[in-house]
Chains A and B, each alone.
Chain A
Amino acid sequence: MAVFNEISPNASAGAKLTNWFENRFPTAFDAYRVHMSEYYAPKNFNFWYIFGSLALLVLVIQIVTGIFLVMHYKPDAALAFGSVEYIMRDVPWGWLIRYMHSTGASAFFIVVYLHMFRGLLYGSYRKPRELVWIFGCAIFLALMAEAFMGYLLPWGQMSYWGAQVIVNLFSAIPFVGPDLALLIRGDYVVGDATLNRFFSFHVIAVPLVLLGLVVAHLLALHDVGSNNPDGVEIKGPNAPRDDKGHPLDGIPFHPYYTVHDILGVCLFLMAFTAVIFFAPEAGGYFLEYNNFIPADPLQTPLHIAPVWYFTPYYSMLRAITSEMVYVLIACVVLGAGFGVIKGRMPVIFKGIIAAAAAVGILLMLNIDAKFWGVVIMGGAVVILFFLPWLDCSPVKSIRYRPSWHKYVYGVFVVNFFMLAYLGVQPVSPLGERLSQIGTLFYFGFFLLMPWWSQLGEPKPVPDRVTFAAH
């Protein structure tokens, strides 16, 4: 047994109660200290650092509203659409719960995209925070699965046909594809079986994984400490500390960042509730108009587009035409050729590279372009996991990188928006070309990062964080 603290009989009732609990459940008190009152965070966080807390808030909103929706929702192909309208009309305040959940889904992606972009700007994935980033990417992946399966549940036309299109993509995988698609659907077309299993995954399986990953993400973060806009280590071996050993550039998370976050939460809720109460459909982006038509397996909509947060990847999928596969082959040839000629490595490795490239090209010539589209779409997310090792810049933060790096990031953002936009639009010749250029840029940005991130002269990084008192 751990130390048992006696307390003076004259102590206040509150102190006695605290002592009673602390003797019986010290873990909770330790956790509070480690993660809140004695977790030292850099004092120079800017507004970009609010999105992590907001993501947690939206997660809680989704779970709580989800619990109430499940009380009235019916996962049955014949009843699902009607039960959603029942929630919207007959369940007291059901409309509010449903709009919170549907708006929350989009808000989650907005917040997470901004959170990831913050990491990109300030090099938050660099050593020693690689695992924090990897857990984060896994959260993003789980979130995409969660959103995709949740979108089937209202059982509207877009729910149905979106799921149909995406699940059919799996059938493009050689050999196992058709069986895999069958396994996912539980039927030859999206149907009642699909709805039931997606419901199960959406409300139990994926949320559990998501919660576990969020815990891992936060624990790993609190082990290595937060990065900051300057990319300076406030807890490094040479970082200045006060006489108690606390970092001089750090402040306890509670109360300083809790009050900061309360302010951020208020501002976020203003935007969030404005959408819920004044524009819950958000112009057809958060709730697609076609989804107010019940799912009809016999009537394919003219234009099927996924919800906005998937459209960048959807454009990359559509960009891979059989013509584009030749461009990808050219990229592989160039990459492998460069590695063999310029790389400094034993001949055996050069041989392996050349052989791998040859096999890759052979496969690309023999497997349908649709499969490579799926590979590119998946690769666009998977590549994020490798970011800590792709970025070879001598400094972490964009602040001290060569100025032109900002333009590279700027074009990356514009490119991402362009891909998102193109994914909403019907296919057009010009759109196809642009999405192909956009796909090449997206992958070039990451795959060539080991090269371009080292170019240029970084600015001197200060020893201490830059902070002006409020």
Chain B
Amino acid sequence: MKKIVLSFIAALGLIAGAAHAAGALALDKAPNRTNDLPALQNGAKLFVNYCVGCHSAAFMRYNRLTDIGLTPQQIKDNLLFTTEKIGETMKAAIDPHQAKEWFGANPPDLTVIARSRAGLGGTGADYLYTFLRSFYRDETKATGWNNIVFPNVGMPNALWQLQGDHRPVFEEHESHGQTVHVLKGWEQKAAGSMTPAQYDEAIGDLVGYLQWMGEPIQKTRVRIGVWVLIFLAFTTVLAWKLNGAFWKDVK
């Protein structure tokens, strides 16, 4: 009997291993900045400057940015490009028909992008952090850009002025009689306005912002949850005592 159970478990292990190997995308670990207000504010600034041109965050209202420590006046003065009203959602300036013509697809809405990209070999933040740092020039593509994480992506690198010219180094391997290109590392051909370390920091802030925007309530719910559990633990003790008081009579 034990053998049967063990062989079942072993078989499951094999499948899990195979599935893991197939979906292997080596994602870099994104820094967790959802608690770091200055980083989130910087991320918000990068977001409205570089992303909202094409991507909407149609369920996110500008005035929600007060949750990350900005005042309504600051939002109005610095972050409103596409609208006048602070209670509006973050709608892209681009015309969807033109976008489809230019990029082959409509730029996806980014409100919950960090939640939707989880489970692809890491958290959603890991995916975005790696994706945004994996663009490279590829003259064979219509936009002139390609991406290691998302091959043939329709999106050009919106942040190229910050990153500079940054190219992947591939290594050729023989595998099952075929030549495969394996990413070995990156080399910086020309400097951008940021050093590679600064760029990684900036992307960390931007991804932190996207993660926060996916669920603005996330820190609040954890804080409330702790109190709820403390309350329930206390109630459980009372219920346990009450139960004991009644059941002591049952013989």
Q: A-side interface residues toward B, CB under 8 Å?
A: 43, 82, 85-86, 88-90, 95-96, 99, 251, 255-256, 259-260, 262-263, 265-267, 269-270, 273-274, 276-278, 280-281, 284, 289-294, 407, 410-411, 414, 418, 421-422, 425-426, 428, 430-431, 434, 469-470
Contact = CB atoms under 8 A, between A and B. Distances in A.
Contacts of B247: 256, 259-260, 470
Given A270-B229, A277-B224, A277-B225, A263 B239 contact: yes
A19 to B, nearest CB: 28
Contacts of B235: 266
Contacts of A280: 221
B246 A263 contact: no
Nearest to B115: A292
Q: Interface on chain A toward B: helix, strand, loop, or mixed SS? A: helix
Interface stretch (B28-36, B40-48, B117-125, B150-158): B117-125
Q: Interface on chain B toward A: helix, strand, loop, or mixed SS? A: helix
A290 B124 CA distance: 11
Interface residues of B, number: 53
Contacts of B228: 273, 277
A414 B8 contact: yes
Given A256-B250, A259-B242, A290 B116 contact: yes
B118 A284 contact: yes
Interface stretch (B53-61, B162-170, B200-208): B53-61
A278 B226 CA distance: 9
B25 interface: no
B248 interface: yes
Interface string B213-232: 01111000110111011001
A86 B12 contact: no
B232 A266 contact: yes
Nearest to A274: B229
A428 to B, nearest CB: 6
Interface stretch (B14-22, B68-76, B132-140, B181-189): B14-22
Nearest to A43: B250
Contacts of B11: 430, 434
A351 B225 CA distance: 66
Interface of B: 1, 4-5, 8, 11-12, 14-15, 18-19, 22, 58-61, 64, 108-109, 111-113, 115-119, 124, 214-217, 221-222, 224-226, 228-229, 232-233, 235-236, 239-240, 242-248, 250-251
Contacts of B4: 411
Contact of A259 (B113, B215, B239): B239
Contact of A85 (B8, B112, B229, B242): B112
Given A259-B239, A289-B118, A422-B15, A274 B225 contact: yes
A431 B216 contact: no
A284 B217 CA distance: 18
18 contacts: A82-B58, A89-B61, A89-B64, A89-B217, A95-B221, A255-B246, A259-B245, A270-B229, A277-B229, A291-B116, A292-B115, A410-B1, A411-B4, A411-B5, A414-B8, A428-B15, A434-B11, A469-B250
A273 B229 CA distance: 7
Contacts of A277: 221-222, 224-226, 228-229
B34 to A, nearest CB: 14
A370 B217 CA distance: 44
Contact of A256 (B111, B119, B246): B246
Given A85-B59, A277-B222, A428-B15, A270 B116 contact: no
Given A289-B117, A428-B18, A89 B239 contact: no
B12 A85 contact: no
